[in-house]
Chain A
Amino acid sequence: MSTGTESEVEPELTQPASGTDEAELEALLGDRAIAREEHLNAPGFVINPNDVQAVLSDLRDEAGYDHLSCVTAQQYEDRYESIYHLKKFADPTDELSIVVPTTTENPVSQSAEPVFRTADWHEREAYDLIGVEYEGHPDLRRILLPETWQGHPLSKDYDQEKPQLVTLTEHQNPIQPDHREADSDTMFLNIGPHHPATHGVLHVETVLDGETVADVEPDIGYLHRCEEQMCQSGTYRHQIMPYPDRWDYVSAGLLNEWAYARAIEDLADVEVPEYAQVIRTMGAELCRIASHMLALGTFALDVYGEFTATFMYTFRDREVIQDLLEDLTGQRMMFNYFRVGGVAWDLPEPREEFFAQARDFLDELPAKVAEYHDLITGNEIFQTRCIDTGVLEPDVAKSYGCTGPVVRGSGVDYDLRRDDPYGYYDQLDWDVITRDGCDNYARVLCRMEEVEESAKIIEQCLDLLEEWPEDERDVQANVPRTLKPDADTEIYRAVEGAKGELGIYIRSDGTDKPGRFKIRSPCFSNLQALAEMSEGEYIPDLIASLGSLDIVLGEVDR
């Protein structure tokens, strides 16, 4: 529960959440914790804006909260607030929210960037959209909106109705500067926003010293579609679910839908029928395979050139999954299949045909994966290109909040499906894949092996679904027509998307629409690590590293 204004806070009132030794935390924070809050997912401590760095570094070093999952900023009637959602890579269920309120008149808070590098972009986004300023931030500029934008769209005093035109002339012309400094011998190169290797509209500002990359800075926001704001103006029950499909739009739709479904189901206390959970698990893993296939194919494009056979091979195999998903959901891309409390409908009739198709796919998959290993990972040239390039050390990956195959390719054993179980995952037999290579090759292998693990999950789901008694096939729970969670209930819930930890933060305001809806995109955090991975390497390695991060700009920019 939120504490309202700071003066009303009574720290002793809160109940201890499971998994966290609150007494120890209180002792660690001491006087710096000026109040307590309770979020549904985690205990919260309110701290002063000047203590952010000290508190976060203590929590990281002493208490082991080494994963800054997300930074949510929001404006109340009387204050601004930044919430740092902390987790442990070793145990993501052990969560902690650090709430930093600032006054409306002077919304300045200390930056967390020196402690967690991932805070860099997250705080820039908070500044851009909400208007909280972060003292000591190395580069507090707008990130999603053009730099000439007026006002902060998610703040209270912003006029949503008034259109703004940002002309190219007042916008900084990215083509202009040839050199960052007049007398330097480096070359400034714009890779993107229209470039074959940026996988969408990404603009990478690159400084080259010959063929060597001296400096890299991704410039994002070209695909910003105000997804958070749109979700805030939709009702929980039906109007939000279609949006997640549009974040990571390359066939990972069901995984995204699950992120919202999980958050709202925990917020509104909805129990999902087991049968629906099995269908969800199967659908989500189909999406994961499709997404990893695409990642593999486009990575091959980056390393091979545009005429490679691998790309078409992966698309051929992905097409089979697309057909299955189309049969299941009625759509190829924007599935909108999950509902609050279940899924839209049962498996397509005749069920035997669907099962047969799905099993055919699973039967053929091992041969196809073997073919990919022959074609791609077994190729010596591919190995010389990918091994020891784009190196991302585990500590750096953690500091940047990288998740998914990116962090697992760096040897960090972190998978929310196992560590923070949801759906039907904890009752199935499968493994989390990790690789110690930390390089582009490790990330590719990681995805390829995850495809096989997903196939194992799907196979078990199919067995379960086939034998499920006919009269127990409930696809939806009984959910009220209008959902109105209690006012000021806060929750942050994440699922393992195709790219990593996809989290949703919701604060309810007592109405049937969220008061604040924040999306934690895995690609957004992963992309930040690009500079670390590619500086000092050659342009081809920069391109390969970008490909190995497997970003989707729809999810980065939201």
Chain B
Amino acid sequence: MNAATTTPLQSDVLLPERLGDLTGLNEFGLAGELLSTLIGAVIVGSLILAMTAVAGPWAKRKITASFTDRISINQIGPAGIGIIIADAVRMLSKENIIPENADRPAYDLAPIVIVGSALLGFAVIPMGSGIQLADPEVGLAFAFAVAGIASIGLVMAGYSSGNKYSLLGGLRAVAQNVAYEIPLVVTGMSVVLFAGSLQMSTIVEAQAEPLVDLGVVAIPQWYALVNPFAFVLFLIANFAEVGRNPFDMPEAPAELVAGYQTEYSSVYFVLVYLGEFLHIFLGGAIISTIFLGGPAGPGPAALGIVWFTLKIWGVFFLTQWLRSAVPRVRIDQLIEIGWKGLLVLSFANLGLTAAIVGVIA
């Protein structure tokens, strides 16, 4: 880190501060600050949860249906969008069946850990239009760290269910996350080398400069364009990290029934299921932030949140596409790809980036 990054550029005011100004809560000192932070968290959380609510019961079905030559839900509301409410009522009113052999409270905590870890990650994501809860200097490291907590949740869910399929799913989840977290973080580091900072806002700002100026349009310096190799590596590692095809080993329907989530029902199942989508979106958010210029896009800066949402959904769409079209690799092949392929490539990428950045600088 050089000296420039230790005094970060705080051009944007963070969401809690702005809320504090708007409501006048700032005058109440620490308590007011806390309250405005809480309100900000509720706003961001609702935004993210609303997105998952649309994605889980509705968009996923519609996307999969169009890939698989079906119509899917179309009865409740326009294009069946009302299924979100119907599904919520259905899922929440079901009996929560807890297996006799379940190891409580680990069994009860696992869904919360899975959901919580993903939600925490969104705290440091700059979503544009001034929506960012916190902007610590170690933003990217924080996002990786909290996303990684999810594997603990998966293991908890796996072993505490008292089901052998769950156990196998949990074990697979650990093996997979360990194998793919390292390439993920190492590839992320190559971006940090470009930006010279771990701070999310700095990374986004660094991408705003034009890469090529064509006169009419300036192509921005998004790191996906600067280093497409790293972008692809990161995408692949991310799919493994969130456990989607071709790497959906922890669940592996048809092999492990439903892996770690086999024994979850009702509210717990909603949480586990929600957690999965949250992690896909968090993965999408990190990708958008460090590779796709975050909330950047044409038009006024106020539209940032729209662009950001579109980018996240693009990544989500890609996961669903892969799920419909690509076979699942075997567990040993998965580990082999992770340790022998991605890890080596990501270190090569890091070394190369370091050399190039060093020469230019």
Contact = CB atoms under 8 A, between A and B. Distances in A.
A540 B327 contact: no
A303 B253 CA distance: 10
Interface in B228-262: 245-246, 248, 251-257
Given A379-B326, A539-B255, A309 B245 contact: no
A196 B333 CA distance: 23
B257 A385 contact: no
A473 B252 CA distance: 54
Contacts of B328: 303-305, 381, 385, 540
Contacts of A316: 69
Interface in A501-558: 538-541, 543
Interface residues of B, number: 30
Given A313-B69, A379-B327, A211 B332 contact: yes
A202 to B, nearest CB: 14
- For the residues of B in contact with A, the DSSP-based class is loop
A543 B327 CA distance: 14
B104 interface: no
B255 A309 contact: no
A189 interface: yes
A189 B329 CA distance: 22
Given A197-B255, A305-B323, A375-B325, A539 B168 contact: yes
A384 interface: yes
Contact of B164 (A187, A196, A300): A187
Interface string A174-215: 000000000000010100000111000000000000010000
B324 A307 contact: yes
- Interface centre among B164, B168, B172, B255, by most chain A C-beta atoms within 10 angstroms, is B255
A308 interface: yes
B68 A309 contact: yes
A538 B256 CA distance: 12
Contacts of A379: 326-327
Contacts of B332: 211, 538
A196 B69 contact: no
Nearest to A312: B68
Contact of B254 (A301, A312, A381, A382): A301
Interface in A347-401: 375, 379, 381-382, 384-385
A236 interface: no
Contacts of B265: none
B323 to A, nearest CB: 5
B69 A540 contact: no
Nearest to A196: B254
Given A195-B257, A306-B254, A381 B69 contact: no
B331 interface: yes
A311 interface: yes
Contacts of B256: 539
Contacts of B326: 304, 379, 381
Nearest to B67: A309
A302 interface: yes
B323 A307 contact: yes
B340 interface: no
11 contacts: A187-B164, A196-B257, A211-B331, A305-B245, A307-B64, A307-B245, A384-B333, A385-B330, A538-B332, A539-B331, A540-B330
Pick the 10 closest A-B CB pairs, nearest first.
Answer: A312-B68, A306-B253, A197-B254, A309-B68, A309-B324, A381-B327, A540-B330, A382-B327, A304-B327, A303-B327
Interface of A: 187, 189, 195-197, 211, 300-309, 311-313, 316, 375, 379, 381-382, 384-385, 538-541, 543
Given A307-B64, A312-B69, A381-B327, 12 more contacts: A300-B327, A305-B323, A307-B324, A308-B68, A308-B325, A309-B67, A381-B246, A381-B328, A385-B329, A540-B331, A543-B254, A543-B255
Interface of B: 64, 67-70, 164-165, 168, 172, 245-246, 248, 251-257, 323-333
